[in-house]
Structure 1
Amino acid sequence: MANSVAARPAGYTGIEVHGQTIRVDFMYKGVRHRHTLGVEPTRANIKHAAGLRSAALFALKSDNYVEADYFPNSRPAETAPQTSRRLDDLCDRYKPLKAVDITRETQSRYENALNVCLETIGRDRLIDTLLPVDIQQLRVDLIATRAVSTVNHYLATFSGFLYWCENNGYCKELGKHCTRFTKSNKDPDPLSFEEYQALIEKGCLHPIDKAAVAVAVYTGLRPGELLALAVEDVAEDFSKIIVRRSITQSGTFKVPKTNKERTVLLFPPAQEALKALIADAEQRESADLQVWLNRHESRTDRARVLLSPKTQARRKVVNDYFVPSAWNSKWANLVRRSGIRSRPPYQTRHTYACWNLTARGNLAFIANQMGHSDYSMLVKVYGRWIDSESPSELERIWAGMQNMAQIAPNLPQNGT
């Protein structure tokens, strides 16, 4: 086997004489670029190679680099260029690959989480030098100044990046060390009926606010679903609504959380409230709402959204639609005026669930109304509102059994 030829400097940075030819060598963002030109190492050729190297680096920094334009006849070098293993560079490769499967709003949250983790652990760290202790230290540093829910989101996002690195051979078994912190489950804090009345009578000074709160409490809609509800979603006889969309903090309409429509049957207070909201909304023109089904597809709904900041606006220029943060501010003012205990607007959804359960509503029916796939979530979240040992429940079940016995005489009766 022939002996390898040692390269020697040619008098210019990154230019080497390698045997009977010239080799160009440079690093950019942790990636080595090495090209053998296949020309004799004359003084003129060496000077030309130095200029070519400078031009290639400038193109890389300008994001206009096409390797074949600068080194069309380059022979593969003895050591092939390797992909950078710096965390920052790997993350730049990962982000656009992940982005195609998530919404733009989620992408922004993911990128923020990744940036925080990279800043904490060190952007210039090489992935194959990381140890489990580095991930454990990341957990310690994050939880020192942040809420558990925030840290768990960061760790979940960063673990996805690390698992991608593992699957592509950049590292081994790091993702599993991004263990989330245990988070205490806070019980729902629903409104009592007395608090609801105080909110309506004292907190809501405008009839539209009263109607909005009534719809929220008596339908159990998520805030984003409430704010995206339109005239066209309400049945003509006011017996039901169809939840077709939600609105995000950025003012983007999307499909509901479960990615499918659902029908909510209406209690009388919700029916009356919707009549007031529709009478107000019908004074506005219909608009084309772009509703995103996923990252790449959308539909257009021609509709009049029920709640608009313009109804009570004092300023001339206001948004057409409420976003969750604006609704949070309005809700906080309503609660403050009413004098009841402060709680976030999502508690209207919890109020709907707890009131239904306290009234001994059917679990499957309530779960369907709220958009859950089954009633396991109700049992998990609202367990203490489900009265499972009530004597009246036993009597109700026994009455049902007796009914069945009349239809099927073979069933046991009177304890026999």
Structure 2
Amino acid sequence: MARRGDGIEIRENSIRITFYIDKERHRETIKVDGKPIPPTPANLKYARRLAAEIRDRIKYGSFSFAEYFPASGAGAVTTLSEWLDVWLSSQRLEHSTLKGYNTCANFWKRSIGDKSIKTLKLLTLKKVIASRPDLTGKTLNNYIMALRQALDLAVSENLLSENPAANLPLVKYQKPLPDPLDRDEAEAIISSMLKRDEQVGNMVEFWMFTGLRTSEIIALKWSNVDLRKGRSLISETVVLGRHKVSTKTHTAREINLNSRAMAALKRQAVHSRMAGEHVFLDSRHGTPWEHERAFRRAFWEPCLKRLGIRYRRPYNMRHTYATIMLMAGITPAFAATQMGHSIEIFLRTYARWLDGSQNDMEMRRLEASFDKNCSLDVPEGI
């Protein structure tokens, strides 16, 4: 057997390709119509092209055993765990999304991973979901949607005639309302943060009065800030420590900076404008923030505990700014643009605050219409 540096192994009557996925070696024989192809010059040329294509697909996360080696990949799959691995290997996704899919796959692997995909029944899947009342509806629905996608691929590959998860109902649950800080709480947090660590306080004030997403604020660069015009371009994010040149919605937006946000930036410029490209730094190390966890544990949680303020996630500073804008009479269209929402999503999320002042006005009108001097005739015994 002759080995080549391009991942090709020449055998007596066949050609084998060697490649690696997550450091695991795979060796597959090239077949046409189920039969190994002989190592002729033309077939070796084809094998080299195929090997290079497979390496590229692996690099970009789009390789699928089911597509290239159905006999040893999808065709050999018997259990749900095995098929979920094949499905995951075929996904070309952002790192954070792929991490979420792995979590979903692991849920099903632990529950019924040893079962053959050909014997899966809707009742079995329903029992798995019903056995986990400890999980939120949102979490369970994520697991259901991931399984549907995985088994849809199995149907496409003719491994299943129908998807047993297609009719698996999503769990009904009530989405929690936004839980913003009130203005007094917001101001107390900003003041306390500034006294203890000005850089962290600057970030909190800017966050509280721009409503940026967590991933957006820790990725903000001075090159995207225009202090003269009072605007900032939001076009990059940091998710799970990885930098992305896109936002959550894959749409860049320019936001207007109010006086509070501008004041925070001008103070922060003294600390970081000449230190590097990032606006906000972890003052303990002089390095950019990689994720929310370090800020939350070292600064946010101790601050709220110190002030006796009911705990909310740092993300709720985003909700705080949205409600501040609405209570100030800002139009929903402008507010939605600043937040990076569609108007539909913004109205659905913050309808409670949008309607609040109008509802109070209508109730005052109703009360004013009552004749307080008249008495109601109430039947006896009631």
1:195 is paired with a residue of what secondary structure? Answer: helix
1:63 is paired with a residue of what secondary structure? Answer: strand
Residue 65 to residue 312, structure 1, CA distance change in 2 (3 Å): closer
Residue 203 to residue 379, structure 1, CA distance change in 2 (3 Å): same
1:89 is paired with a residue of what secondary structure? Answer: helix
Query: 2:191 matched to which residue of 1?
Result: 201
Give 1:110 deviation, angstroms: 0.9
Residue 234 to residue 192, structure 1, CA distance change in 2 (3 Å): same
Q: Deviations over 1:297-334 (max 9, x none)?
A: xxxxxxx111111x234xxxx75434122222232222
Query: 2:371 matched to which residue of 1?
Result: none
Q: Deviations over 1:354-394 (max 9, x none)?
A: 111111211100011111122x22221111211334659xx
Supply the distance in 2 between the matched residues of 1:335 and 1:130 (Cα, whole angstroms).
49
Query: 2:281 matched to which residue of 1?
Result: 308
Give 1:66 deviation, angstroms: 2.0
Query: 1:341 matched to which residue of 2?
Result: 310
2:172 is paired with a residue of what secondary structure? Answer: coil
What is the total number of aligned residue pairs between the two structures?
Answer: 306
User: Which of 59, 64, 74 does residue 27 from structure 2 map onto?
Assistant: 64
Residue 278 to residue 66, structure 1, CA distance change in 2 (3 Å): same
Give 1:83 deviation, angstroms: 1.6
1:340 is paired with a residue of what secondary structure? Answer: coil
Q: Is the 8 Å Cα contact of residues 218 and 288 (structure 2) preserved in structure 1?
A: no
Identity of aligned residues (%): 22
User: Which of 348, 351, 358 does residue 380 from structure 1 map onto?
Assistant: 348
Q: Deviations over 1:61-103 (max 9, x none)?
A: 97324267x9668xxxxxx979234123332332222x22x11
User: Which of 309, 319, 324 does residue 292 from structure 2 map onto?
Assistant: 324
TM-score, length-normalised on structure 1?
0.66
Residue identity opposite 1:193 in structure 2 = R
1:359 is aligned to 2:319: no
Supply the distance in 2 between the matched residues of 1:341 and 1:71 (Cα, whole angstroms).
67
Q: Deviations over 1:108-154 (max 9, x none)?
A: 2212311220221133x22221111111112123x244333322222
Supply the distance in 1 between the matched residues of 2:209 and 2:37 (Cα, whole angstroms).
70
1:95 is aligned to 2:64: no
1:240 is aligned to 2:231: yes
Q: Is the 8 Å Cα contact of residues 248 and 254 (structure 1) preserved in structure 2?
A: no
Give 1:203 deviation, angstroms: 4.3
Q: Structure 1 residues 382-391 or 154-163, which shifts more?
A: 382-391
Query: 1:251 matched to which residue of 2?
Result: 242
2:233 is paired with a residue of what secondary structure? Answer: strand
Supply the distance in 2 between the matched residues of 1:104 and 1:379 (Cα, whole angstroms).
30
Query: 1:186 matched to which residue of 2?
Result: 176
Supply the distance in 2 between the matched residues of 1:256 and 1:163 (Cα, whole angstroms).
29
1:219 is paired with a residue of what secondary structure? Answer: coil
Q: Is the 8 Å Cα contact of residues 158 and 178 (structure 1) preserved in structure 2?
A: no
Residue 162 to residue 241, structure 1, CA distance change in 2 (3 Å): same
Residue 231 to residue 182, structure 1, CA distance change in 2 (3 Å): same
Residue 240 to residue 108, structure 1, CA distance change in 2 (3 Å): same
2:76 is paired with a residue of what secondary structure? Answer: coil
Query: 2:20 matched to which residue of 1?
Result: none
Query: 2:268 matched to which residue of 1?
Result: 277
Supply the distance in 1 between the matched residues of 2:256 and 2:323 (Cα, whole angstroms).
17
Q: Any runs of at least 4 consecutive aligned residues in structure 1 with deviations exceeding 4 A, and if so which?
A: 70-73, 389-392
Q: Is the 8 Å Cα contact of residues 230 and 306 (structure 1) preserved in structure 2?
A: yes
Mark the runs of 5 or more structure 2 residues left unpaired by the alignment: 1-11, 17-23, 39-69, 363-382
2:153 is paired with a residue of what secondary structure? Answer: helix
1:167 is aligned to 2:159: no
Residue identity opposite 1:331 in structure 2 = W
Query: 1:152 matched to which residue of 2?
Result: 141
Residue identity opposite 2:151 in structure 1 = L
Q: Is the 8 Å Cα contact of residues 220 and 348 (structure 1) preserved in structure 2?
A: yes
Residue identity opposite 1:66 in structure 2 = T
Q: Deviations over 1:36-69 (max 9, x none)?
A: xxxxxxxxxxxxxxxx9xxx9xxxx97324267x
Query: 1:36 matched to which residue of 2?
Result: none
Give 1:254 deviation, angstroms: 4.0
Residue identity opposite 1:373 in structure 2 = S
Q: What RMSD in Å do the two structures reach over aligned CA positions?
A: 3.2
Residue 67 to residue 266, structure 1, CA distance change in 2 (3 Å): closer
Counterpart mapping for 1:6-155 below 5 A: 63-66=26-29, 83-86=75-78, 87-97=80-90, 99-100=91-92, 102-123=93-114, 125-141=115-131, 143-155=132-144
Give 1:183 deviation, angstroms: 2.3
Q: Deviations over 1:340-366 (max 9, x none)?
A: 111101111101111111112111000
Q: Is the 8 Å Cα contact of residues 85 and 128 (structure 1) preserved in structure 2?
A: no
Give 1:211 deviation, angstroms: 1.3
Residue 194 to residue 245, structure 1, CA distance change in 2 (3 Å): same
Residue 283 to residue 113, structure 1, CA distance change in 2 (3 Å): same
Greater Rg, structure 1 or structure 2?
A: 1
Supply the distance in 1 between the matched residues of 2:25 and 2:350 (Cα, whole angstroms).
57
Q: Is the 8 Å Cα contact of residues 136 and 177 (structure 1) preserved in structure 2?
A: no
Supply the distance in 2 between the matched residues of 1:334 and 1:104 (Cα, whole angstroms).
32
1:178 is paired with a residue of what secondary structure? Answer: coil
Residue 332 to residue 241, structure 1, CA distance change in 2 (3 Å): same
